[in-house]
Amino acid sequence: MAKLAVLFPGQGAQHVGMGRELHLAFPLARATYEAAADATAVDLARLSFEGPEAELRKTQNAQPAILTHGVACLRLLAEAGVEAQIAAGHSLGEYTAHVAAGSLDFEAAVRIVRRRGELMYEAGLRRPGTMAALLGLDRSAVGEVVEAAQAAGIVTAANLNSPTQTVISGEIAAVERACELARERGAKRAIRLEVSGAFHSPLMESAAAGLAEILDATPVTDAHFPVIANSTAAPVDTADAIRATLKAQLLAPVRWEESIRALVAAGFTAAVELGPGSVLKGLARAIAPELQVYAVGDPQGLEAALALLAAAERT
């Protein structure tokens, strides 16, 4: 089989109903949701399938729900005989990637991200902030906008998603000022995001400290295959490096564009996005159109991806 990467989405990909069809169709998916409920004492199946949306959107609920959906898809792919050689995940998705690589136990990971969400929410209460997506500006222009807006407070580039999509994060006044400046510079859109805090910014310092304590107390092993770290856009596979990059992640930008380019440079031509939605597939198309990405979040997506991967293998 050709070299295959698995990709995992982050917070914001969640939607009511995600994973329901997999749960109905596959005992392995049901077992995954049951294990997540046992690990967190939260009925993530009910929350994912029925909502309400406002409850699912809460950081402490969205993160374990998305991770569980991604792991259910991963296990079904493996059951069908498909094996990956590398993984990457966007923010929260980096934890799912480490489950895929065997460096984190699933039950431990779902507990960590549940607590990660709580810590991020609490940090947002302590130091209120927000995030915004800037579309249609290149990295240089975004850098100039952010630098100018820092006169109004803390603001930084948080998610370097594609050549023309960057998410910024920081204090509300500074983010709003950056949006104004971005529009003046010709941005196609500058949109405030519905988030509970300024993720991947210095405003998350208290959450990062709490998360570091949890990671130090959690068993982490060497990975079966490399995971591209958000904070470095470089592969890690040793327990020490994994723990260090996960600690760094919450305060560092998600270097997603560089991560996808690193996959392509390493010779990967195909990837499967596992979990809700297909945001990462769209970003990959903008970053590296030569990378073929299949989105798997339901039985139909799974069947299509398996057929396409099999066809690609025959050619």
Q: What percent of the chain has pLDDT over 70?
A: 99
CA angle 285-232-224, nearest 5°? 85
Place of tokens 């310092």: 205
192 with 229, same domain: the answer is no
Residue 214, amino acid: I
260 with 213, same domain: the answer is yes
156 with 190, same domain: the answer is yes
* Tokens, residue 66: 């998305």
Q: How confident is the model at residue 313 (pLDDT cuts 50, 70, 90)?
A: confident
Report the alpha-carbon distance of residue 276 to residue 16 in Å, rounded. Answer: 10
- Domain residues for the domain of 175 are 129-196
106 with 214, same domain: the answer is yes
Decide if 154 contacts 205 (C-beta within 8 A): no
* Tokens, residue 6: 């698995």
Last residue within a domain, chosen from 162, 196, 230: 196
Tens digits of per-residue pLDDT, 233-269?
Answer: 999 999 999 999 999 999 999 999 999 999 999 999 9
Global pTM reads 0.97
207 with 299, same domain: the answer is yes
209 with 90, same domain: the answer is yes
Over range 174-191, report the average pLDDT: 97
Decide if 157 contacts 146 (C-beta within 8 A): yes
Q: What percent of the chain has pLDDT over 90?
A: 97
Report the alpha-carbon distance of residue 278 to residue 18 in Å, rounded. Answer: 12
* Mean pLDDT for all residues in the chain: 96
Catalytically annotated residues: 91, 200
List, in sequence order, every residue forming a beta bridge with 167; answer none if it has no partner. Answer: 133, 159
Q: Is residue 314 over pLDDT 80?
A: no
Over range 180-193, report the average pLDDT: 96
Q: Is residue 169 over pLDDT 60?
A: yes
Per-residue model confidence (pLDDT) at position 315 = 67
Per-residue model confidence (pLDDT) at position 312 = 80
90 with 113, same domain: the answer is yes
222 with 307, same domain: the answer is yes
Q: Is 18 exposed, middle or buried (0-12, 13-18, 19+ CB in 10 A)?
A: buried
Q: Is residue 1 over pLDDT 90?
A: no
214 with 305, same domain: the answer is yes
Q: Is residue 2 over pLDDT 70?
A: no
Residue 56, amino acid: L
- Residue 260: CATH number of its domain: 3.40.366.10
Decide if 158 contacts 90 (C-beta within 8 A): no
Tell how far CA 172 is from the center of its chain: 23
231 with 309, same domain: the answer is yes
**Pairing verdict, β 86-89 and 4-8:** parallel
Last residue within a domain, chosen from 164, 196, 228: 196
Per-residue model confidence (pLDDT) at position 97 = 98
My answer on whether omega of the bond before 52 falls inside 30° of 0, hence cis, is yes
109 with 219, same domain: the answer is yes
Report the alpha-carbon distance of residue 9 to residue 278 in Å, rounded. Answer: 8
Per-residue model confidence (pLDDT) at position 311 = 85
Tens digits of per-residue pLDDT, 294-306?
Answer: 999 999 999 999 9
Place of tokens 């405030």: 192
CB atoms < 10 A from the CB of 167, how many? 25
Tally of structural domains, the chain: 2
Tens digits of per-residue pLDDT, 71-109?
Answer: 999 999 999 999 999 999 999 999 999 999 999 999 999
Q: Is residue 15 over pLDDT 70?
A: yes
Q: Is residue 203 over pLDDT 60?
A: yes
- Residue 191: CATH number of its domain: 3.30.70.250
Per-residue model confidence (pLDDT) at position 72 = 98
Decide if 228 contacts 86 (C-beta within 8 A): yes
Decide if 268 contacts 291 (C-beta within 8 A): yes
Q: Is residue 204 over pLDDT 60?
A: yes
